[in-house]
Amino acid sequence: MEPTQSLKTIVVAEDDPSSRELVCEILEAQGYHVVETGNGPDALDKIQKLIPDLVLMDIQMPGAGGMTVIQQIRQDRRTAKVPVVAVTAHAMAGDRERILSSGFDGYISKPVDAVLLRQQVRDLLRAGTPV
Protein backbone atom coordinates (compact mmCIF):
# COMPACT_ATOMS: atom_id res chain seq x y z
CA MET A 1 0.00 0.00 0.00
CA GLU A 2 1.26 3.46 -0.87
CA PRO A 3 1.55 5.83 2.11
CA THR A 4 -0.47 8.58 0.39
CA GLN A 5 -3.49 6.36 -0.30
CA SER A 6 -5.03 7.12 3.08
CA LEU A 7 -5.21 10.76 1.97
CA LYS A 8 -7.14 9.94 -1.22
CA THR A 9 -10.92 10.33 -1.12
CA ILE A 10 -13.06 8.25 -3.46
CA VAL A 11 -16.81 8.70 -3.89
CA VAL A 12 -18.62 5.46 -4.75
CA ALA A 13 -22.02 6.16 -6.33
CA GLU A 14 -23.90 2.87 -6.68
CA ASP A 15 -27.57 2.18 -5.97
CA ASP A 16 -27.20 -1.59 -5.44
CA PRO A 17 -26.18 -2.09 -1.79
CA SER A 18 -24.27 -5.34 -2.37
CA SER A 19 -22.31 -3.93 -5.33
CA ARG A 20 -21.56 -0.74 -3.39
CA GLU A 21 -20.41 -2.73 -0.36
CA LEU A 22 -18.07 -4.87 -2.47
CA VAL A 23 -16.45 -1.87 -4.18
CA CYS A 24 -16.11 -0.01 -0.87
CA GLU A 25 -14.50 -3.01 0.83
CA ILE A 26 -11.97 -3.39 -1.98
CA LEU A 27 -11.03 0.31 -1.81
CA GLU A 28 -10.95 0.54 1.99
CA ALA A 29 -8.66 -2.51 2.10
CA GLN A 30 -6.26 -0.48 -0.07
CA GLY A 31 -6.29 2.40 2.42
CA TYR A 32 -8.55 4.86 0.60
CA HIS A 33 -11.10 7.09 2.33
CA VAL A 34 -14.41 6.04 0.77
CA VAL A 35 -17.65 8.06 0.73
CA GLU A 36 -20.75 6.10 -0.30
CA THR A 37 -23.91 7.26 -2.01
CA GLY A 38 -26.83 5.45 -3.63
CA ASN A 39 -28.35 7.96 -6.04
CA GLY A 40 -27.41 10.59 -8.60
CA PRO A 41 -28.45 13.81 -6.81
CA ASP A 42 -26.69 12.79 -3.58
CA ALA A 43 -23.61 11.77 -5.56
CA LEU A 44 -23.44 15.17 -7.25
CA ASP A 45 -23.89 16.94 -3.91
CA LYS A 46 -21.07 14.94 -2.28
CA ILE A 47 -18.77 15.42 -5.26
CA GLN A 48 -19.32 19.20 -5.26
CA LYS A 49 -18.78 19.45 -1.50
CA LEU A 50 -15.79 17.12 -1.19
CA ILE A 51 -14.02 17.56 -4.56
CA PRO A 52 -12.79 13.95 -4.26
CA ASP A 53 -9.67 12.51 -5.84
CA LEU A 54 -11.76 10.00 -7.81
CA VAL A 55 -15.38 8.98 -8.41
CA LEU A 56 -16.67 5.50 -9.23
CA MET A 57 -20.19 5.86 -10.61
CA ASP A 58 -22.92 3.52 -11.72
CA ILE A 59 -24.65 4.50 -14.95
CA GLN A 60 -28.20 3.64 -13.82
CA MET A 61 -29.13 5.21 -10.47
CA PRO A 62 -32.31 6.70 -9.03
CA GLY A 63 -32.87 10.43 -9.35
CA ALA A 64 -30.23 10.98 -12.01
CA GLY A 65 -28.13 8.40 -13.81
CA GLY A 66 -24.40 8.53 -14.28
CA MET A 67 -24.67 10.03 -17.76
CA THR A 68 -26.57 13.01 -16.34
CA VAL A 69 -24.28 13.40 -13.33
CA ILE A 70 -21.09 13.29 -15.44
CA GLN A 71 -22.36 16.22 -17.53
CA GLN A 72 -22.92 18.27 -14.37
CA ILE A 73 -19.50 17.29 -12.99
CA ARG A 74 -17.76 18.35 -16.21
CA GLN A 75 -19.64 21.68 -16.38
CA ASP A 76 -18.56 22.73 -12.87
CA ARG A 77 -15.04 24.23 -12.99
CA ARG A 78 -14.34 22.90 -9.46
CA THR A 79 -15.06 19.29 -10.41
CA ALA A 80 -14.34 19.27 -14.15
CA LYS A 81 -10.93 17.58 -13.73
CA VAL A 82 -11.99 14.97 -11.15
CA PRO A 83 -11.45 11.51 -12.69
CA VAL A 84 -14.73 9.58 -12.94
CA VAL A 85 -14.93 5.86 -13.72
CA ALA A 86 -18.16 4.27 -14.91
CA VAL A 87 -18.91 1.03 -13.07
CA THR A 88 -21.74 -0.50 -15.03
CA ALA A 89 -23.61 -3.52 -16.27
CA HIS A 90 -23.74 -1.83 -19.70
CA ALA A 91 -21.30 -4.20 -21.39
CA MET A 92 -22.70 -4.51 -24.90
CA ALA A 93 -20.70 -3.70 -28.01
CA GLY A 94 -20.19 0.06 -28.20
CA ASP A 95 -21.16 0.79 -24.57
CA ARG A 96 -17.58 1.34 -23.42
CA GLU A 97 -16.84 3.79 -26.23
CA ARG A 98 -20.16 5.63 -25.75
CA ILE A 99 -19.56 5.97 -22.01
CA LEU A 100 -15.94 7.11 -22.38
CA SER A 101 -16.89 9.64 -25.06
CA SER A 102 -19.51 11.15 -22.72
CA GLY A 103 -16.86 12.34 -20.27
CA PHE A 104 -15.91 9.34 -18.14
CA ASP A 105 -12.20 8.67 -17.63
CA GLY A 106 -12.51 4.92 -17.19
CA TYR A 107 -14.90 2.02 -17.57
CA ILE A 108 -15.35 -1.10 -15.45
CA SER A 109 -18.06 -3.62 -16.27
CA LYS A 110 -20.04 -5.54 -13.68
CA PRO A 111 -19.57 -7.90 -12.05
CA VAL A 112 -16.56 -5.97 -10.78
CA ASP A 113 -13.17 -7.61 -11.13
CA ALA A 114 -11.28 -6.63 -7.96
CA VAL A 115 -7.87 -6.72 -9.67
CA LEU A 116 -9.04 -4.50 -12.52
CA LEU A 117 -10.73 -2.10 -10.08
CA ARG A 118 -7.59 -1.72 -7.95
CA GLN A 119 -5.39 -1.25 -11.02
CA GLN A 120 -7.62 1.33 -12.71
CA VAL A 121 -8.01 3.31 -9.46
CA ARG A 122 -4.26 3.22 -8.85
CA ASP A 123 -3.48 4.27 -12.43
CA LEU A 124 -5.94 7.19 -12.41
CA LEU A 125 -4.79 8.47 -9.04
CA ARG A 126 -1.13 8.29 -10.07
CA ALA A 127 -1.49 9.85 -13.49
CA GLY A 128 -4.48 12.10 -13.04
CA THR A 129 -5.22 11.39 -16.69
CA PRO A 130 -7.76 9.21 -18.49
CA VAL A 131 -7.14 5.47 -18.77
61 falls in which pLDDT band (50, 70, 90)?
very high
Structure confidence at residue 5 (pLDDT): 55
Q: Which superfamily is assigned to 3-127 in CATH? A: Response regulator (3.40.50.2300)
pLDDT above 90 (res 52):
yes
Query: Model pTM greater than 0.75?
Result: yes
Which of the 8 DSSP states describes residue 111?
S
Helix then strand count (H, E) for the chain reads 5, 5
- Residues ≥6 apart with Cβ < 8 Å to 80: 73, 74
